[in-house]
A and B are shown apart, each in its own frame.
Chain A
Amino acid sequence: MTHTDWPLWEVFVRSRRGLSHTHAGSLHAPDAELALRNARDLYTRRGEGVSIWVVPSSSITASSPDEKDPFFEPAADKPYRHPTFYEIPEGVQHL
């Protein structure tokens, strides 16, 4: 039995104009053109999209789950970045 090892592609679908492309899933295809066609058949059989991106999975660089704590730590101790950090007197409007 022949093994062709088509590369894996990640599929992103824009469900309607005005929204971002969102990750829908993945599929195998020999090249970008067929990846797009396969993505249409696989992820938009019921009109779920108006635009599709396909990206070779091997092109994605992801943050490591092992290092997530130190990696995201800089955001953890800066509550002053949130509007709720500030105390505003009762009755002040439009703020």
Chain B
Amino acid sequence: MATAAARETAGSQAYDVPDGAGDTTDTTGYERAFDAAVAADERIEPRDWMPDAYRATLVRQIAQHAHSEIIGMQPEANWITRAPSLRRKAILMAKVQDEAGHGLYLYSAAETLGVSRDELLDKLHSGRQKYSSIFNYPTLTWADVGAIGWLVDGAAITNQVPLCRCSYGPYARAMVRICKEESFHQRQGYELLLALSRGTPEQHAMAQDAVDRWWWPSLMMFGPPDDESQHSAQSMAWKIKRHSNDELRQRFVDICVPQAASLGLTLPDPDLKWNEERGHYDFGPIDWTEFWDVLKGNGPCNEQRLTRRRQAHEEGAWVREAAAAHAAKHSNGETGATRA
């Protein structure tokens, strides 16, 4: 019998994909093994046979996730030079560095599926692959750094915790690492907002304004409603996704309402109220036209974010070339570390 233990591979790289993957020639045995592994809640590992559509879905989702982490560095980096204290500045720099790290974990996971890093970056730069539309909103004040940590990272955590049990091993392992680190992101944001909320009336107003602007875009991060989400059903069947968009969105709202009260801030939704019967908070309708519009590229910062990303990549070209030249020059020497 096929067992989970035998599926483990040494590296995380997809060294090669078995011949015939995706062909019609006798894939039924492979397919049965794949279906059985998913049904038994085992993990699929890079060198296992998997349906082409499963592979394509994962590449699309993991790449989009990686791009989001990298683009997500920009709105917050915008405030590093203007952080109000050395403490806040050090925290913000560490957070932005984490986002870069999260992007790298995820690009590595995507590469195990047989795509190259360059290919993924090209697709981001040319707009052929998307990133989360939340990062196309501007960070207008210092309080936005707090609102992003509390709400945007909070929504991300709600989305990501179930992904730690995703059926694809490398993606699940990257998410475990990311979720551990996100907790600091969310708490620093909450603490920042709390300091402002308890500060002068102007500071309190600034915190409230930031929450007012970030609340609805954060709810949109969970994606379209279940009946309009084109990939959801298949992803749930493959156990890539464990909960529906609407289910996760509701979970997030339920978590945030008491947290907002503790902050001394309000959430900008007049329909928000406890529903005894459902055991959840009811909330108002989401403006999906705005969501689709931002996704299509018409958000306040789409152009700016991509331009900056391409520019950073081009400006780093000489560093990559110099390092490659240096490595080539010294390639006669030893490679690899000394055993320690």
Contacts and interface: CB of A to CB of B under 8 A. Distances in A.
Interface size class of A (residues with CB under 8 A): 35 or more
Interface stretch (B64-72, B213-221, B319-327): B319-327
Interface in A31-81: 31-32, 34, 36, 41-42, 45-46, 51-57, 59-66, 68-69, 72
B13 A56 contact: no
Contacts of A66: 18
Contacts, number: 111
A54 B336 contact: yes
Given A1-B313, A32-B334, A8 B13 contact: yes
Contacts of A32: 334-337
A69 B2 contact: yes
Task: Give the secondary structure class of B's interface.
Answer: helix
Contacts of A30: 320, 323-324, 326-327
Contacts of B324: 4, 6, 30
Interface of B: 2, 6-7, 9-13, 15, 18, 45, 47-49, 94, 97-98, 101, 104-105, 108, 111, 117-118, 122, 125, 173-174, 177, 181, 313-314, 317, 320-321, 323-324, 326-327, 330-331, 334-337, 339-340
22 contacts: A1-B125, A1-B314, A2-B317, A3-B118, A4-B321, A6-B323, A8-B111, A10-B12, A25-B105, A26-B11, A30-B324, A30-B326, A30-B327, A31-B327, A31-B330, A53-B336, A53-B339, A60-B15, A65-B6, A65-B7, A65-B45, A65-B47
Interface of A: 1-6, 8, 10, 14, 23, 25-28, 30-32, 34, 36, 41-42, 45-46, 51-57, 59-66, 68-69, 72
